[in-house]
Amino acid sequence: MRRLILLSAGFALAAGVALADDPPPMPAQGKAPAAAGRRGGTAAQRAESTREFLGLGTAPDAAAAARGQPLFVAQCSACHGETGRGGIGPSLVHSSLVLDDDHGEKLAPFLKVGRPDKGMPAFAGLSDRDRVDITEFLHQQVELIANRGTYENKNNILVGDKKRGAAFVKKNCASCHSLTGDLKGLGAKYRPLDLQRNWIFPPRDPADGPRAFQATVTTPTGVFKGRVRQVDDFQVVIVDAAGAVHAFNRGKDVKVQIVDPLQAHRELARTLKDRDMTDVTTYLETLK
């Protein structure tokens, strides 16, 4: 059941890595994609969510894996390395015997008899539980590679100067944001990496929220204001405050002014220096 884990996770991870660029000037529809930066929850919740998304199968038994770790090191690490990724012997995290096993039903009996003709000793002296614990430890090593939900960012970005960060926010952000309003408790809502991403490139989701594109359409019959649902070279469609939908054919008598509430963020992002990013993120993380 675990045979396709590494391949599937590798494809998914490669697909998930992309260079961020300026967002398109206008979405064709009012519904924006969900923000990837708002991945909350505990490490265990993120790992479980990613496991389900990638179809990685059953999760290893953490308690059994913890018991199996010293057993594996004592019995197996001389050949296969302390994490099973190979030494003078092959890596076990890519072994079909490990990947086809779920909770020791195949691997534990194999450990009992071994493969002496190929240099793999039998571990008949271990108890049944010990052999199962070793299999769970190996499954945990596969999990740590295949399930990117278990990955942790090791680059500490909270290395900036809080005072400089506070001064930057006061100078550049106070006209739209408030420490007692939308910034209150911000540091408790996001992990540092997500916090930095969200203040530099804030997500537009939800599409009907305050971050949606707004338009003022002036026609011979009046002026109409509302949230942009669709815009192109031929037509503009808006939704007014009452929820009514208005569609206008673009022409000489129709003037359209579009306002992007996130324009200031987009312009600011082009001027940021590395020090600005770490200073502001370090300061915002203290707002809990």
User: Buried (b) or exposed (e) across 225-241, using 16+ Cβ within 10 A?
Assistant: ebbbbebeeeebbbbee
243: number of Cβ within 10 Å:
9
Q: What is the pLDDT of residue 230?
A: 92
Which stretches of 161-242 are assigned E, i.e. beta strand? 214-219, 222-231, 235-239
Q: Chunk the chain into consecutive blocks of 10 residues (it has 288) and report each block's average pLDDT, rounded to whole numbers.
A: 49 39 42 40 75 80 95 94 92 90 92 91 94 95 82 78 97 94 93 91 78 94 94 94 95 95 93 96 96
For residue 198, what are the contacts with CB-CB under 8 A and spacing of at least 6?
A: 35, 37, 38, 190
pLDDT, tens digit, for every residue of 93-140?
Answer: 889 889 889 899 999 999 999 999 988 999 999 999 999 999 999 999
- Cα separation, 139 vs 3, whole angstroms: 11
By C-alpha distance, which of 150, 127, 128 is closest to 59? 150
Would you state the pLDDT for residue 55?
A: 73
Give the CA count within 13 Å in the CB-facing half-sphere of 238. 23
pLDDT reported for residue 16: 42
**pLDDT at position 207:** 66
DSSP state of 115: B
Separation between Cα atoms, residue 9 and residue 148, nearest integer Å: 7
Q: How confident is the model over 33-55, as pLDDT tens digits?
A: 333 334 456 667 777 888 788 77
Closest CA to 141 of 285, 6, 283, 277: 6
- The amino acid at 230: Q
**3-state SS assignment for residue 229:** strand
Sheet-wide strand order for 235-239: 245-249, 235-239, 222-231, 214-219, 255-259
Helix (H, G, I), strand (E, B) or coil at 106: coil
In whole angstroms, give the CA distance from residue 209 to residue 204. Answer: 8
